[in-house]
Chain A
């Protein structure tokens, strides 16, 4: 994939916000990966003897009211955010792309139905779905994943339909149709490869939004449940102690903001790099 001004890699290395976003995202993924087999302290089990310790060499960011190491909790919380984000966005992406591509291939009333369904779903932000889901299946990571996933379906369905319609109007698709290829084959061979870069960009942005939504849900107590650490619940626990240990409310927030900021920059950078047409318009 080479465009004006050198290879993809060369342009990526020169793109400052892409590199910053990439570095932050790699940092977040790295934290989660390392936490799978090593954390500097205890992230899950309680040790009341060491509660509310200030930052030190042993406890890098101190300990919380149950004696858990805050830095270790942040690392393990990254695991949680990434799992929820990846699974939820995948649900939205797969279902949404299928719906959107189907609407675009068939047009007519199917397209109309898919679009009306999308319009309709916008009335239910992730938190409303989560509230209903919590009422039905109770709070937990699965509730977050389902709520955020459902929220993402119309996002991807609309996007896919829009760009797929543009691809369907192109000459090479007409040629493929003239050659007698079916709608499914054209979608797989021609439409999907041409909309891939836009879907990747949206997936990055949606991942960022999913992390924010997951944090909000676990803050409200609808999402991930103890003992699995999550950034949102760390914030809600810290808020209760805000007069006593204000810094405990800072660390998880900064971690969330940096992760989301990194993904947003990465998404914008990818948009510039994968679609030179859009980049030039800016």
Chain B
């Protein structure tokens, strides 16, 4: 393993550790006694005391952090107060919606963005370019959840091609479940695609101005061949960077879009948990979402090393 990747792996682990400490600390400074919250204000002091001991809330903070984090690493997120089931089960059920949704949106956004971005760059300053850039400027300005509502209005209310929300479940109706994710994925992907298309276009244009592209052209390589053979791979580097950074926003968007389409994913889980003051779910879900963002950015770093030979020896 190269020094670059080792450094990145270390950063990855440290970031996760930092995130877990912050989330734990945030839940720690919460006003109110969790045991009291669970049992309600009418509970007898003895019952509260018993639950406090049962939950281990009377032990020192570092000890409880250690217990929590070792549990999480082993897949044990604790027991939900409101559902009375292991949080890990709740999380796994909601991940079955959130993860496919995020992946579908990301793939769709990337495909649209790269095609449009390259097309705009290849037609620099011509009507196609100006048009695509104008539309993408609008796309960036639209809230994804409003786009979701508009899609519902068009495809569910008027055309009746899709249902306005809900999720049948993968086991019960695989095709129906997939269908239920299409409109949400399109809403999420449109905004992402608008951002990424602009990045792709400017990255391609920047690389086209590089000396080595002129060298390739001087060899007799045509513009088209230079675009595919020399420009694209170089242009991918900034595009992937932004994709990594945008992933956090995509996940955030997922939380909102699940609300629009009433999909029982991670976002719905955490929002309901807030209403129920079921903090153990909030804790676990937020940590998981943060971990997903960090993990994707770690993957982006690995992709860099695969694309750019300079990273394997330099940049230590």
Chain B residues with CB below 8 A from A119, complex form: 11, 15
Residues of B in contact with A, size category:
35 or more
Any B CB within 8 A of the CB of A184: no
CB distance from A252 to the nearest CB of B (A): 8
Taking a contact as CB atoms under 8 Å apart, the answer to whether A216 and B145 are in contact is: yes
Taking a contact as CB atoms under 8 Å apart, the answer to whether A264 and B137 are in contact is: yes
Taking a contact as CB atoms under 8 Å apart, the answer to whether B286 and A131 are in contact is: yes
Chain A residues with CB below 8 A from B146, complex form: 215, 235, 249, 252-253, 256-257
Interface string of B243-271 (1 = CB under 8 A from A): 00100110111011001100000000011
CB distance from A118 to the nearest CB of B (A): 11
Any A CB within 8 A of the CB of B38: no
Total residue contacts A-B, CB cutoff 8 A = 124
Taking a contact as CB atoms under 8 Å apart, the answer to whether B143 and A212 are in contact is: yes
| Cα distance A227–B150 in the bound complex, in angstroms | 25
| Cα distance A269–B274 in the bound complex, in angstroms | 41
Which secondary structure dominates where chain A touches chain B? helix
Taking a contact as CB atoms under 8 Å apart, the answer to whether A131 and B270 are in contact is: yes
Taking a contact as CB atoms under 8 Å apart, the answer to whether A124 and B152 are in contact is: no
Taking a contact as CB atoms under 8 Å apart, the answer to whether A122 and B149 are in contact is: no
Interface residues of B in 283-299 (CB under 8 A from A): 286, 289-290, 293-294, 297
Chain B residues with CB below 8 A from A238, complex form: 149
Query: When the two chains form the complex, which single residue of B31, B252, B279, B297 contacts A127, counting CB atoms closer than 8 Å?
Result: B252
Instruction: Write the chain A residue with the least CB distance to B290.
Output: A123
Q: Are A125 and B286 CB-contacts (below 8 A) given A120-B18, A136-B26, A257-B143?
A: no
Q: Are A122 and B274 CB-contacts (below 8 A) given A128-B252, A242-B164, A260-B141?
A: no
Taking a contact as CB atoms under 8 Å apart, the answer to whether B137 and A125 are in contact is: no
Interface string of A179-220 (1 = CB under 8 A from B): 000000000000000000000000000001000100110011
Chain A residues with CB below 8 A from B11, complex form: 116, 119
Instruction: Write the chain A residue with the least CB distance to B28.
Output: A136
Interface residues of A in 129-144 (CB under 8 A from B): 131-132, 134-136
Any B CB within 8 A of the CB of A3: no
Taking a contact as CB atoms under 8 Å apart, the answer to whether A124 and B290 are in contact is: yes
Query: When the two chains form the complex, which single residue of A123, A221, A232, A256 contacts B248, counting CB atoms closer than 8 Å?
Result: A123
Chain B interface residues toward A at CB < 8 A: 11, 15, 18-19, 23, 26-27, 29-31, 137-138, 140-143, 145-146, 149-150, 152-153, 157, 164, 245, 248-249, 251-253, 255-256, 259-260, 270-271, 274, 277, 279, 282, 286, 289-290, 293-294, 297
